[in-house]
Amino acid sequence: MTENRLDLNSFPTIIDVPREQTASLLAKVLGITSFGFLITALGVATAPDWSTLPGMIAVLVLVFAISFARKASPALALGLFLTLTYFMGWEIGPLIHRYARSVGPAVVFNAAATTGLGMAAMGCVAYLFQINYRRIAGIGFAALLVLILLGIASMFLHFMTPSTYSWLTLGIFTLLTIGDFARIRAGGDGRSAVSLALSIYLDAINIFLAVLQLMGGRRRN
């Protein structure tokens, strides 16, 4: 009985795959994500002032649709992802337009550039070090749920400033981004390139919005 007993500690929490074996997966994920951001820029440029709520609803529906289609039809999942990136532009477009009018378009460019450099740095950290991405994902997801609850409560009790919320958002999605890059570094954990690209894309969008809020608030002050 003792010999047949499973040792739970024998299961690795870090899948160490040679970097050259995951280079093609990383290139595919980054290619899909980059193309998605180009479509998001088009969505932002064409977004009317009333598009935030329709864009948000479309994005939520498409996230669930991708989760169902990613295994049945990778091509359909890719099409849904690219559609999602356009409607994400609709969701965030009115906010970006307001910042561009009130603070100036330079703050939007600086926030985008800072996000891009930050994402590159986090990807390097994930590829240079062995990281337990499952543990990071669990901590990050739990922290995100707490932040959402605090944000909802703060809408009524007003105990959290927008800058504090943005700093917390930035910290949590930095953690999640490192975890998502570490997942790619580990071979993807059975996820498709589209699913991994969706995670990286949503991480970057949330980091961009947090950085934009912090930079825009500083300019206004």
39-96 residue pLDDT tens: 999 999 999 999 999 999 999 999 999 988 877 788 999 999 999 999 999 999 999 9
Q: How far apart are CA 199 and CA 61, in angstroms?
A: 16
pLDDT at 179: 93
Q: Is the pTM of this model over 0.85?
A: yes
pLDDT at 221: 52
pLDDT at 210: 96
pLDDT at 23: 80
Intervals of the chain under pLDDT 50: 1-13
Q: Which two tokens stand for residue 144?
A: 């995100």
pLDDT at 85: 97
